[in-house]
């Protein structure tokens, strides 16, 4: 059969992924389709392409009777209704591991940027304030206590880097990992209490929604004089943004480095107004080589499944 396979991209995805899909498949892009156009093509769609932050709800899966695979370009897939897909025999795939280094690098970058106030220092020089005197003193990162919320592959890559800064590493996760040399704490609050830096790198979704709440932020505030620093490179949903803004405005914690937000790309004005906060636009995996590797893996997963072969990296629930 030489007819290209109909594929639905649920958003305007990375061009690195879209270009491969467009070359090999009959590519339909959901935001370009009205209801009638979607209804016309839906019965033939055999694959859905998505990104880590896409929504693929049961209501969409139900409209696609010939669907075989949902291939996410991203490690996170909290926007996909995996149970609905599984119930239909649809395999969900994602792109783990190829982005571990980049996300861990960004986590360390946000820790340093927040502790040493690098964006503020840059503004200080550009704005000519140096001529009037020196900046307020910053916080030391080397030797400090790091708490990691979620000790999967990326969490472990962050821990490895932190050891080079002579940091002590502790973590919380659903269960202790006895093979790791780091101290396990049973809750985010217990971990925050003993952390100068609390880094969030747990999957998103209902199970972790607002895991970092006022109680955890209060504990982080008690951890060190002036409070600890929060870094989030996971999902915006894991942190209660209202509680975070409150903790920052009241000086409960010292600062935050944030790559993800509850309602991104909308970032609350009150958060953007705070000088002790460093903000990046969800760029944890956004380097050229890594995004290419993610696109290649997502495309390979989609093609393998459509060819009747096992996908390379199905999500754990579909293994």
Q: What gap in Å lies between CA 23 and CA 18, rounded to an integer?
A: 8
Burial class (CB in 10 A: 0-12, 13-18, 19+), 319: exposed
Strands 25-29 and 47-51: unpaired
Residue with token string 């925050």: 192
Residue tagged active-site, from 235, 262, 291, 305: 235
Min separation Cβ 284 and ligand 8YV, Å: 6
Among 48, 61, 73, 85, binds ligand 8YV (CB under 6 A): 73
Active site residue 264: yes
Whichever of 86 and 282 has its CB closer to ligand 8YV, that residue is 282
Stretch that binds ligand 8YV, among 41-49, 83-91, 250-258, 277-285 (CB under 6 A): 277-285
Does the protein bind ligand 8YV through residue 53 (CB under 6 A)? Answer: yes
Active site residue 282: yes
Q: What gap in Å lies between CA 152 and CA 157, rounded to an integer?
A: 9
Does the protein bind ligand 8YV through residue 51 (CB under 6 A)? Answer: yes
Residue tagged active-site, from 209, 215, 264, 312: 264
3-state secondary structure of 188: helix
Stretch that binds ligand 8YV, among 58-66, 67-75, 122-130, 209-217 (CB under 6 A): 67-75
Q: What gap in Å lies between CA 302 and CA 92, rounded to an integer?
A: 9
Active site residue 235: yes
Q: What gap in Å lies between CA 161 and CA 104, rounded to an integer?
A: 8
Does the protein bind ligand 8YV through residue 14 (CB under 6 A)? Answer: yes
Structure tokens at 305: 């499944």
Whichever of 227 and 284 has its CB closer to ligand 8YV, that residue is 284
Stretch that binds ligand 8YV, among 74-82, 151-159, 169-177, 190-198 (CB under 6 A): 74-82
Residue 194 φ then ψ, to 5°: -115, 25
Among 7, 27, 67, 74, binds ligand 8YV (CB under 6 A): 74
Does the protein bind ligand 8YV through residue 202 (CB under 6 A)? Answer: no
How many CB atoms within 10 Å of residue 100? 20
How many CB atoms within 10 Å of residue 262? 18
Whichever of 76 and 227 has its CB closer to ligand 8YV, that residue is 76
Adjacency order of strands within the sheet including 47-51: 25-29, 5-9, 47-51, 69-73, 91-93
Instruction: Please list the active-site residues.
Output: 235, 264, 282
Under the rule (CB under 6 A), what is the footprint of ligand 8YV?
14, 51-53, 73-76, 99, 282, 284-285
């Amino acid at each position: 059969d030489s007819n290209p396979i109909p594929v639905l991209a649920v958003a305007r995805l990375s061009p690195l992924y879209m270009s491969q899909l467009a070359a090999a498949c009959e590519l339909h892009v959901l935001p370009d389709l009205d209801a009638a156009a979607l209804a016309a093509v839906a019965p033939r769609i055999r694959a859905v392409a998505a990104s880590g932050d896409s929504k693929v709800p049961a209501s969409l899966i139900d409209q696609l009777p010939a669907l075989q695979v949902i291939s996410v370009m991203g490690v996170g897939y909290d926007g996909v209704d995996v149970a609905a897909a599984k119930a239909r025999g649809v395999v969900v795939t994602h792109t783990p591991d190829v982005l571990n280094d980049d996300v861990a690098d960004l986590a360390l970058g946000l820790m340093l940027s927040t502790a040493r106030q690098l964006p503020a220092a840059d503004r200080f020089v550009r704005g000519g304030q140096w001529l009037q005197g020196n900046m307020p003193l910053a916080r030391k990162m080397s030797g400090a206590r790091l708490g990691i919320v979620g000790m999967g592959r990326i969490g472990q890559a962050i821990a490895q880097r932190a050891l080079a800064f002579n940091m002590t590493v502790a973590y919380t996760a659903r269960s202790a990992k006895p093979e790791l040399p780091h101290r396990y704490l049973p809750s985010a609050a217990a971990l925050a209490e003993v952390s100068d830096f609390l880094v969030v790198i747990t999957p998103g979704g209902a199970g972790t929604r607002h895991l970092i709440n006022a109680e955890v932020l209060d504990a982080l505030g008690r951890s060190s004089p002036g409070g600890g620093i929060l870094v989030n490179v996971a999902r915006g949903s894991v942190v209660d943004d209202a509680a975070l803004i409150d903790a920052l405005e009241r000086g409960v914690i010292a600062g935050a480095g944030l790559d993800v937000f509850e309602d991104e790309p909308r970032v609350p004005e009150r958060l953007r107004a705070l000088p002790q906060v460093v903000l990046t636009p969800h760029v944890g995996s956004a380097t050229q080589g890594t995004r290419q590797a993610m696109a290649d893996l997502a495309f390979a997963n989609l093609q393998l499944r459509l060819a009747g072969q096992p996908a390379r990296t199905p999500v754990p629930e579909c293994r």
